[in-house]
Amino acid sequence: MTRDGAGAFLRGWWGRLTHTLAVLLRVMVPIFLLISLLEASGWIEEAGRWLGAPLALVGIGPRAAIALLVGAFAGLYAAIGSMASLGLTPAEALPVALFLQFAHALPMEAAVAHQGGVSGWRHAAARVAMGVVAAAAAPLLAPLARLGEGGAAGDVAATEAAGVATAGAVAPATPAVQGFGPVLLHSLGALGETLLLLVAILAPLTLLIQLLEHSGWLERWSIATTPWMRRVGWTGEAAFPLLTGLFLGLIYGAGVMIERFQRGKLNRREGWELFLFLGACHSILEDPFIFTVSGVGPGALLPTRILAGLLVLLGLGWKRRGQSRSAAGYAQVSGG
């Protein structure tokens, strides 16, 4: 590669990275700060008390409802910190963990989905529905969860985890911080950690995409995966965001997906179906394991997440075959 070619390559990568970050940050920053302030003001805790009765129908008690609301709004690590401070037993934590592995950080991730051409509220509603079904199945899954391994209330690791942001999770504002000024400063610090992590993951990802495109490997990969993607009605372009979200998390998969969508590589239907699948099954190397600090092992969480993803794929494949049969029948009637 010549010097001019290398310069053009780096400019292309930098433009791709900054554009993707700009799209994500435009959504993430205001929502992050809003949720942090709501959590610090006690609003989320109060909402958890209001929802205690209906959530009891799926086995989630009043105290566990608070942790569930924190996680649904602010992310998994915020929920784990809440579980530790509330002193939830592993049995109380299990239905919350099952719900939250599908439905966490909903405002931010729904807004990111919207940037990818997908209805944010439909995406959030689908994930909540999956979470409710999973939580209701907690009594059946309890033997797989190895409850009690890893500790429960007061676990130091869980408390420290409340200040960490990682794939698919948002670093929360700690409710103990009082006053608008301290809360704002704390939120900005946590936001800074989240953004640094976002850059640290998206920079090599976008560089890899640029390298694959420049070398022609991305096109060859898309062609090679097309037969597999076609089974559920996707093109080969869906393979890279699918794998990114599956292993690194929904936000990072969304970053790749938004970039592909805005360049016309993915259509709106593919975007919706990819977000639906990743809502069910994403970050499989991390999310199912982090609840160990709350006493819930991955034995129930990981199989449930994988099963949900497979059911989504089977449903999409069944829907596609039904549409094909309907179209073929219509063509025969029209031809006759």
pLDDT computed for residue 1 by the predictor: 62
Tokens of 102: 């599908």
Where do the structural domains in the chain lie, given as residue ranges?
3-335
Residue 196: CA count within 13 A, CB half-sphere: 9
Global pTM reads: 0.73
Mean pLDDT of 33-56: 78
At 228, list the tokens.
Answer: 């597999």
DSSP 85-98: HHT--HHHHHHHHH
What pLDDT sits at residue 166?
36
Tens-digit pLDDT profile for residues 161-177: 333 333 334 344 344 45
Work out the pLDDT band at 50, boundaries 50, 70, 90: confident
Q: How does pLDDT run across 196-236, given as a tens digit for each residue?
A: 877 887 788 788 878 877 787 867 877 888 888 888 889 88
Q: Which residues of 43-71 are buried (b: 16+ CB within 10 A; e: fewer)?
A: ebbebbeebbeebeebbbeebbbbbbbbb
pLDDT above 70 for 143: yes
* pLDDT exceeds 80 at position 98: yes
- Output the average pLDDT for the chain: 79
- pLDDT of 304 reads 95
C-alpha to C-alpha distance for 135 and 142, rounded to whole angstroms:
11
Residue 11 has pLDDT above 60, yes or no: yes
| Nearest C-alpha neighbor of 70 from the set 98, 38, 102, 31 | 38
